[in-house]
Structure 1
Amino acid sequence: MTDLTFQGAYLRERLPAFQEIAYTVTNRFLLFFRYHLGTPQVQLVPRWEHSLHNPTWFDSEGKELRGGTRTAVAHPVPGARGELGTKRFKPSDLPDLEAFLASPAEPTLALTLLADAKTAWHERNLRRSVLELAICCEVMVKRKFFAASSPAGAAFDYLEDKAKVSVRVLELLDVVATEAFGRSFKREHSGNYQMIDLLFRCRNKIAHRGMLEYRDDSGNLQIAGQATVEGWWNAVSGLKDWLDSL
């Protein structure tokens, strides 16, 4: 019987370097087909891909080496830890499920955009997540103030299409909301209001320069990471609840 203890330890030490190189090169290869050749339905390899954790090793002469680790890899479940408001199904949810199955409701555009932004966040496509969150804000707020079925909504859409009017979402949530509803999102939820302000600053950087960054109130350039965009998603979700309460 061959003792593979030392060989196994030798290979395990090299596993992280192999994983990083294999992950990077494979996805660059797939990105070329996806964007340069336009190949549809190309999916990038995730870091939990089983083969990245269980490589087959060969020596310089092409002979297979034994002694590497064997790892069981479980696919991650997005939202399992409750990120971005994800909830676990409970027995108390059964009546709602039965009612939905009997009479499904079409999701609103705002809900669709929030869900798409959440999916992009879990896929670590933060630029797309930021863009969808910003669009979601604009859709929710402007439809609340200028209902599509009302004369005011039709007039606003006409003027906006003709570039005759331009109203920032942040203005609508403070001064205009106070005039229209006697309430201000900025006063009631100042933290979320500030996050939405930063969200739109980052949206502008993405739209104009393709950069996932923004300037804070001190003028310092900040990079929007996973935790930052998570906070923005929660702020937009809170805005939706506030608008629904008006």
Structure 2
Amino acid sequence: MPPSSASHATVVTALRSAGCVFAEDEARLIVSTARTPVQLAAMVDRRVAGLPLEHVLGWAEFSGLRISVRPGVFVPRRRTEFLVQQAVALASEAPVVVDLCCGSGAVGAALAASLPGAELHAADIDPTAVRCARRNIGARGHVYEGDLFDPLPRALRGRVGVLAANVPYVPTGEVGLLPPEARDHEPLVALDGGGDGLDVLRRVAAEAPLWLAPGGSLLVETSERQADLAVETFARAGLIPRLEVSEELYASVIIGMRP
């Protein structure tokens, strides 16, 4: 028997008591997802204990898609939809697309949905994330496990039109300042970007020209205060950089084109 409509008020009260700012919206999602009163109670308990809402639900909404997520996997952020929008705008017909540091595969899945003729490849170092990405990407692409470019087929070198890399960019010293939902329940490898937050970005930018086709672009999300240094990093790697900003989504994306 599905949860009754009366359950909504009870769930709202429990979530508010736990400090959930958007208790009513979260209660609506939890009640609509739970199939039985027992499942509803378990979901509420997990949310009250601090588990991210998306881990409680088992999915996150991203670029109009329902992306499967699971405990221990980075939850796709709405601001990253701006990276997807920029990538779609740059893509040629039937492009070769790579989703690096793919996590749940949200970016790759969104690009595949927007670019039906794309040849999609995705990779992540975290085996839990890779399993999740394979579920979300399915037959629309290939998902590999390994460090950055290492697991990608060598045949992709010089052929990639769109290289989207949602790299970790939180400085190591600031990881402890993140909301508990992130720092306690998402993998550190998906958050920690090193001393200034740009260690992984530097590695990606340095190798990207080997993989990009002429005119192909690398797209990386970063913070506003890191943007200038990230642009310099792209330029030093031989890419032609530019910064795109969405005030609505509070998102900054560095785009580097291979000449």
**Does the TM-score normalized on the shorter chain lie above 0.5?**
no
For the aligned pair, the TM-score class normalised by the smaller chain equals under 0.3
**TM-score between both structures, scaled by the size of structure 1:** 0.27
Larger Rg: 1
Greater per-residue strand proportion = 2
TM-score, normalised on structure 2?
Answer: 0.26
Looking at secondary structure, tell me which structure has more helix per residue.
Answer: 1
